[in-house]
Each structure stands twice: as structure tokens, then as C-alpha cells.
Amino acid sequence: MGGSIGVGLLGLVLSVTAQCSLSPGDSNYRIDVHSHAVPDVWRAALVQAGYPVKNGTLYTDGFPVSNWTLEGHLEAMTANSVNYTTLSISAPGVTFLAHDATKAKNLARKVNLAMHQYTQQHPEKLGAMCLLPLPHVKGAIAEIKFCLDTLGFDGVGMYTNSNGTYLGDSSLDPIFELLQERNATVFVHPAAPGCESAGMGWPSPMTEYPFDSVRAMENMLLSGQRASYPNVTMIFPHGGGAMPYLATRIAGMSSLPFLGGLSVPESLAQLAGYYFDTASATSAIQLNAMKSFIGIDRILIGTDYPYVPVAQSEPALAAIQTNGNFTSTEMAQINSKNTLSVFPRISAKLGW
């Protein structure tokens, strides 16, 4: 690949040629920041914890969990024309073990080691985001250090809330302190809301996940946590949930004296200072909302494989350019340049 340095003349020529046709600036090079592994050890723990298995299929948050395999994941990447993906664990992570810090920590460690094994088998295609045993802060801090320093993960995964503890809660300050110190990039997966009845019994991913992204960003705004740790790069999936649509309302209300009298432009700038991915957010309405709210340089590709099957993601990916009215240069940004700019570890690994 492009990073190798040719030794002999022939090697040099080959390597330069490869670099020209396969450079990341190429609008074809596509990085997916939102895809999930379902390691056996995690699946077994979910089943053991009592998540329902109906007709052979496991459900979490009212949604079926695929029978995931590494080979199937790589095939899906090819079908979606994805060159590199950052594997993460979808909700509920290990939050169902919130009552037992040791069990949560042990399972998170096993899952992280499984993801590490996948990335070691295909380092040029797969990276990983660390699974944290939140809401247990001490264990989460240890896991961040282990994943970033020992396993060489690309970044850290978090959830909008962990057992009802939302981003923005002051108990998470030590985590953000460490993330900021490490200049880490965080992928925030939505979770079922702290109060599950809000979903009226329908699958949480349908609307509660996007709304939970809004809740997390809103809580970080009002609590001041985001203002305290502005340099932690954070990605929210699904076009930021409903944030592009609700931001002016949230910023407006946050300016009321009893809510802290925050500056409207500063609140809007903060809310637009995140990165959003395109998973289930590729319609013209969604892409244009993202474009006008966060700007093209903050849009990243996400597929949500395997929860979103290839039959759905492949045509959705193909529609992004038309639906967003993006130029080829803009597509190159969205496909990989934006992502490489927030994941220096991926650039370093690929030699770009």
C-alpha cells in the first residue's frame, strides 16, 4: 500500500504508482466510522443476562442482533466499497452489568481483546474504538489507557448514557480530563434513554437513539462539561440525531437566565462543533441539514453494519453525492479526508 518505501528502482516505481492511484485524497477511498463487531463473548453475556432470544435471534433494545462474523464484516465492507472501518460495540455495551463493576470491567476487557484480535488480522482495514465499563469511572479510565497505549486502538467508544448517567454528568469529568489530555477521538453511540418507557415499547433505535444523542449534547451544553473539555473530538451518529433541527431551539432556551444565560452564538457553535456520521441519514433532507448546520468538513461516513444490512446501506451510500449535492472534492472529504483529520492514529497506521 501507499505507505511503503520502495528500495530498488522497481520497488520505488511500484510504490509511487500505488500511491497515485490509491491515495486517500481519492474520493473512492472510504472510511466507515460506524460499524459494529458482535464478539461471541459479548453475545453470550447478553444472552446470559436475559436479553430476549426469539426464534433463535437475540434482541437488544427491541432490535435484532445479527449473527456477526469477521469474514461477513469484511465482505460487507467490500460490498459497501468501504476501505477501512473503526469497529465498535453497539448499545448496551456492558452497561447491563452496571450493578457489578468487576464483571463489567472483565467483560469490557474481553471484548476489547477480541476487537484487537480482529484488527491485528487486518490492520490495513480494521481499527477499533475502546469499550468502556461505564458508569464505573475508575474501570473506564484503566480501559482507556489499556486500549490507547497497549492495544493501539484508533479511539474510544462511549454511549449517550450509561445506565442513566448521561454525558455531561460531572461524574464523567475525570474521563473527559483524560480524553482531552490524550487528544482522543470519541465515537458516541446512542443508547436507550434512561427512562425506557419513553419509547412506548417500540424499538429504541427507531427514535429514542437519535433523541438520546440530542439529550447527551444538550446535557453537555447546560452542565458546562463540553465547554470545559472542548478539545475532545466527538462523533455523534445518524446525522447528529435531531440536533441540526433542534439546535436553535436549545441554544435559545439556554440563554434564559434561569438556565445559565448562555450566549446563543456560543451555544450554537458548540453544538455544531461535533462530527456527525451518515448512518441512516442519507436523505436529501438529512444531508442538507448536516451541511448547513455542521458543514461539509464535519460529515463522516457511517454504515451501522451489521444492524443495517448491506442491502440497505449500499444504495444509501451511493445516493449521498446526489442527495447532498456534493462535488467530487466534497465527496473525497466526506469519504475519508475529514475522518483522517480526526483520527491521526489511522493516518499514522496507513502511512498517510
Ligand X SMILES: *[C@@H]1O[C@H](CO)[C@@H](O)[C@H](O)[C@H]1NC(C)=O
Q: Which residues bind ligand X (CB under 6 A)?
A: 22, 28-29, 55-57, 64, 66-67, 78, 81, 83, 98-99, 135, 163-164, 180, 183, 185, 230-231, 233, 325, 327, 342, 344
Spatial distance between the Cα atoms of 246 and 27, rounded to a whole number of angstroms: 31
Which residue lies nearer to ligand X by CB, 262 or 296? Answer: 296
Kindly state the smallest distance separating residue 110's Cβ from ligand X, in Å. 20
Which uninterrupted H or E stretch holds 212? helix 204-223
Kindly state the smallest distance separating residue 86's Cβ from ligand X, in Å. 14
Spatial distance between the Cα atoms of 155 and 157, rounded to a whole number of angstroms: 7
As given in the structure block, the three cell numbers for residue 21 are: 492511484
Helix, strand or coil for residue 200? coil
Amino acid, single-letter form, for residue 218: E
- Which residue in the shown chain puts its C-beta closest to ligand X? 56
Which residue lies nearer to ligand X by CB, 76 or 128? Answer: 76
Which residue lies nearer to ligand X by CB, 246 or 309? Answer: 309
Which residue lies nearer to ligand X by CB, 150 or 325? Answer: 325
Nearest to 89 by CA among 307, 278, 339, 236: 307
Kindly state the smallest distance separating residue 24's Cβ from ligand X, in Å. 7
Kindly state the smallest distance separating residue 253's Cβ from ligand X, in Å. 26
Whole-number CA gyration radius for the chain: 20
Residue with cell 444523542: 213
Which residue lies nearer to ligand X by CB, 255 or 288? Answer: 288
Positive or negative, the Cα torsion across 230, 235, 241, 243?
positive
What DSSP assignment string belongs to 234-252? EEESGGGTTHHHHHHHHHH
Kindly state the smallest distance separating residue 249's Cβ from ligand X, in Å. 25
Which residue lies nearer to ligand X by CB, 85 or 246? Answer: 85
Q: How remote is the C-alpha of 303 from its chain's centroid? A: 10
Helix, strand or coil for residue 17? helix
Kindly state the smallest distance separating residue 156's Cβ from ligand X, in Å. 12
Which residue lies nearer to ligand X by CB, 48 or 257? Answer: 48
Positive or negative, the Cα torsion across 250, 334, 350, 115?
positive
Kindly state the smallest distance separating residue 259's Cβ from ligand X, in Å. 23
